Structure 1
Amino acid sequence: MYDYALRQDIIHEVHSRPFQNLPAPMVMEHITVLYDGKDAHDAERQILQLIRYLGFECPETHKGFLFIQNAELSIRYEPHNEFYTLTLYKSENTRSALQLPQYRQQLPGAFLAGAEILFRKDQSNLFTRHFSKNFSEWGQDCFHSGQFVASEVMAGSARMATTFKPLPDTGFTLVIVEDIHLMPAQAGRLLQRICEIETYRHMALMGLPSARTLMPKLTLLDQELASVSQRSPDQDSSHTLMAMMELSGQVEALSASTANRFFASEAYFALTEKRVQELRENKLKGKQMTTEFMERHLEPARRTCRSASQRIELLSKRIARATELLQFQVNLTIENQNKELLQAMNKRARRQLNLQSKLESLSVLVVVYYLYDLTGMALRNVLPQGELLDTSLKALTLSLPVLTIITFWIVRHLMKGIKEQ
């Protein structure tokens, strides 16, 4: 027995991307960057160079997930199939800009989303009625408005609030989190889930522009299919079949160009929903929860992407069904043409047999004539001149009716077998 070739990769994948212990207070910056056609290995090499430039000691041979820290900062790097994420952690109680926006121009790829997370200890007093008030005041100060999403999370162990709107100066979404009685490991899981929600909801929405662009095209193709399907039965089926094949090619091209994006979006929608559920929210009075916000703002986009994908599949099935019916009609037309051709051939064969029947009498006379002539010549050559020859020729002449009847019976018997066939 020997080890499976990919066993170590499987083990590494199961244990990759662990949660960190993150005690409050802390400031975090999380960024999501698309590869956007760039080679993932080249992008990783540039990222690791930037991490070393920021003062982190990273091995030259390192590959894949990375969490490393120095005296002031910690950084987390996660590569994925379509994107990578960078997260900076700094243990402090006051909001201060970290270095990701500053070095964003040096990162490879296309910026998609970012989150700035302020994590602090509970600042309320001992009276329960003041818990939400203090947290609400902090939210109003951070968001400069009373309109924000807020809830208790982790079964009441923390509170979080955000507007899910990017800040005008950095393009990052601000999220505030207050630790009521979280363990460091719980805090690490909570903050990582918040980062993943921000990443996955943006990745999920990447399919929405394609869905919106696709809808008018699908409507036109649908109308064209209806127009082609309603053709007159007297029209040439070959032209209709060619039109169906052209429609099928267009739909398959649309499916090939959008199927991967829609499937990926559906997976990211499911991940976003899962991460929101893992927050284990409890409602704060007068505030909308993250779950409610996602259902109201993200679910319509999900349904739009799903509808576009289903419309492509349905249109493809309708074209296949219409083409199958048209092909059946073409085959039926060909069968009718073959039937008419066979009937014409049968009529021609009957006419030939009738003509042969009419010529039976003539053929009998011809055969009798040749038999009589050949027999007479044979008698003249065999018998000498005299009374015996004359008697034989008279007997041959008198036997003509019998010879004619026998010849007619033979010819009629042969023709009867041909007619039966």
Structure 2
Amino acid sequence: MTTLFQIPPNHPQRFVLHNEVHARASSILKLPVRASYLALSLSNEEKLRERRHLASLCERFGAVPPEHEADHFSANFDTFQMSWEQHGEFSSYTFYAYDSVAEPFADPALTKVPVDWLAQINGQVIVAAHANVVSAADIDYRDEADLSPLSVHFAGNPIVGSRVTGGAAAVFTDFRIHVDGFSRFLVVNHDLRTAQAGRLLHRLFDIEVYRVMALLAFPIARKLYPELKKADRRLYSITNSMTQPDNDDAKLLDELTALAAEIENHISSHQFRFAAASAYYRLVGQRLEDLREVRIQGIQTLGEFLKRRLEPAMNTCNSISHRYTLISERVSNASQLLRTKVDILIERQNQGLLSSMALRAKMQLRMQQTVEGISMVAITYYAANLIGKIAEALHSLGWHINVELIEGLSIPFIFVIIGIGTKRIHKIIANTTE
């Protein structure tokens, strides 16, 4: 009997996160099996229509459709089995058929899917692949030293392959798109279990789609390379001009700003694609490790083939991305140096201007003091003259005073009083400005 415990309430995402490890599980397959895989790039609007299209297929065969928010779905229909997964940048469909055929790729699983429904799938095809899991006897494959019976299934193209999953199977492909528009994987079953077969096919299709998704950045890298060289030359020209004594710093700063904006625009426009390419490339490496490849004498393993072809392209993408980051930093450093130089020139100009203003203020002060001194003399003269007039009036009234003497004696007193008043005014002004 199950015991129920009184524990705190669950986190809102507890069950969703717990069950994430069971999401996108590989299908349990019966052997032998034929599989057809489609990976399609979709817009946001097409992703919304995709679920309705899946629901129409389920309605046709009386199956339960996927939930509205589901991003993966599996179902068994009358003559085929289907798995659907929606990823960030693409959606994938895998169709399985179990009836045996004489030729591995003569009747692929996709022929079991209704033609009208298949034609209306949304998006653009990124990857299309057929895979067959067969026994060695079915294709007359008896000796690993003689791969000629396999070559006919790949239109005579050179094949690559290896033993995988601990020797339980051998995988062969030519990594080419054939006349039907599909690439091919042939899996020779030695001792595969049904769960192993599902995981193996899942990994093979993942390798195919992730390597293509990683390579989406390669055309962008090749397109950006001339732009990078041009930006590097422009930066060299600007920094070289910065060392010349007669350069126009304002013009150089405008050129640097325009160059920085152009570089940052390239980085912001393509950084996601380069980061995604790096992530997809790591997934390819992880899926190849999961295969646990063992070499078959005379042919390359899948890992060797992909590393030789894929690694240079990824190195180019990483190099372009890294160089754009470096040139952005160099432009930033050059801009900072030029701004520092401009700031120093402005400070020198400001210092000269302040010195000129200080000299002008000093001259104005001297002139003001001179005018002030002259004004004190003028005020003393007029005040003494006024006192003289008053003395004359008093003398006319009969006072016995010496007008000239009174006027002369008043001059020092008037001068002192004016001086004291002027100092008090200066003091009041000083206190007010403080």
* TM-score normalised by structure 2 residue count: 0.81
In structure 2, stretches of 5+ residues that fail to align are 1-7
Match of 2:130 among 90, 94, 116: 116
Determine the structure 2 residue equivalent to 1:49.
Answer: 56
After superposition, the Cα gap between the structure-2 partners of 1:29 and 1:386, relative to the gap in structure 1 and judged at 3 Å, is same
Equivalence map 1:172-183=2 (5 Å): 172-183=182-193
Match of 2:213 among 188, 203, 209: 203
Determine the structure 1 residue equivalent to 2:64.
Answer: 59
CA contact (8 A) 2:101 2:107 kept: no
Match of 2:313 among 289, 301, 322: 301
CA contact (8 A) 1:47 1:108 kept: no
Determine the structure 1 residue equivalent to 2:4.
Answer: none
| Of 231-240 and 280-289, the range deviating more from structure 2 | 231-240
Determine the structure 2 residue equivalent to 1:186.
Answer: 196
Determine the structure 1 residue equivalent to 2:5.
Answer: none
How far apart are 1:299 and its partner, in Å?
1.0
Equivalence map 1:71-150=2 (5 Å): 72-91=79-98, 92=100, 94=102, 95=104, 96-98=106-108, 100=110, 103=115, 105-123=119-137, 131-133=143-145, 136-145=147-156, 147-150=158-161
Determine the structure 1 residue equivalent to 2:270.
Answer: 258
CA contact (8 A) 2:384 2:410 kept: no
1:318 correspondence with 2:330: yes
After superposition, the Cα gap between the structure-2 partners of 1:361 and 1:106, relative to the gap in structure 1 and judged at 3 Å, is closer
How far apart are 1:122 and its partner, in Å?
4.3
How far apart are 1:48 and its partner, in Å?
4.2
1:245 correspondence with 2:257: yes
Q: Indicate the SS of the match to 2:162.
A: strand
After superposition, the Cα gap between the structure-2 partners of 1:342 and 1:62, relative to the gap in structure 1 and judged at 3 Å, is closer
| Of 321-330 and 82-91, the range deviating more from structure 2 | 321-330
Encode CA deviations 1:198-227: one digit per residue, 9 max, x unaligned.
111111111212222122222223323333
Equivalence map 1:222-301=2 (5 Å): 222-231=232-241, 234-301=246-313
CA contact (8 A) 1:368 1:407 kept: no
**2 CA distance for matches of 1:31 and 1:60?**
20
Encode CA deviations 1:213-270: one digit per residue, 9 max, x unaligned.
1222222233233334444564544433333333333233323322222222222111
Determine the structure 2 residue equivalent to 1:221.
Answer: 231
What letter is aligned with 2:163? Answer: E
In structure 1, stretches of 5+ residues that fail to align are 125-129
| Of 197-206 and 304-313, the range deviating more from structure 2 | 304-313
Encode CA deviations 1:335-374: one digit per residue, 9 max, x unaligned.
2222222111112122223434555664454244234323
**2 CA distance for matches of 1:208 and 1:360?**
83
**2 CA distance for matches of 1:133 and 1:75?**
36
Encode CA deviations 1:92-133: one digit per residue, 9 max, x unaligned.
263232253784533221111122212123449xxxxx7423
CA contact (8 A) 1:113 1:171 kept: no
CA contact (8 A) 1:36 1:110 kept: no
After superposition, the Cα gap between the structure-2 partners of 1:378 and 1:213, relative to the gap in structure 1 and judged at 3 Å, is same
What letter is aligned with 2:83? Answer: R
Give the number of aligned pairs: 409
CA contact (8 A) 1:27 1:93 kept: no
Match of 2:345 among 320, 324, 333: 333
What letter is aligned with 1:182? Answer: L
What letter is aligned with 1:106? Answer: Q
What letter is aligned with 1:105? Answer: A
Q: Indicate the SS of the match to 1:39.
A: helix
How far apart are 1:26 and its partner, in Å?
2.0
Give the superposed CA RMSD: 3.5
| Of 172-181 and 320-329, the range deviating more from structure 2 | 320-329
What letter is aligned with 1:288? Answer: Q
How far apart are 1:49 and its partner, in Å?
2.8
* TM-score normalised by structure 1 residue count: 0.83
What letter is aligned with 1:239? Answer: K
Determine the structure 2 residue equivalent to 1:127.
Answer: none
**2 CA distance for matches of 1:362 and 1:85?**
100
What letter is aligned with 2:133? Answer: F
What letter is aligned with 2:180? Answer: T
Encode CA deviations 1:2-21: one digit per residue, 9 max, x unaligned.
55555554455432211223
Determine the structure 1 residue equivalent to 2:3.
Answer: none
CA contact (8 A) 2:27 2:195 kept: yes
Q: Indicate the SS of the match to 2:29.
A: coil
Determine the structure 2 residue equivalent to 1:157.
Answer: 168
After superposition, the Cα gap between the structure-2 partners of 1:52 and 1:269, relative to the gap in structure 1 and judged at 3 Å, is farther
What letter is aligned with 1:190? Answer: L
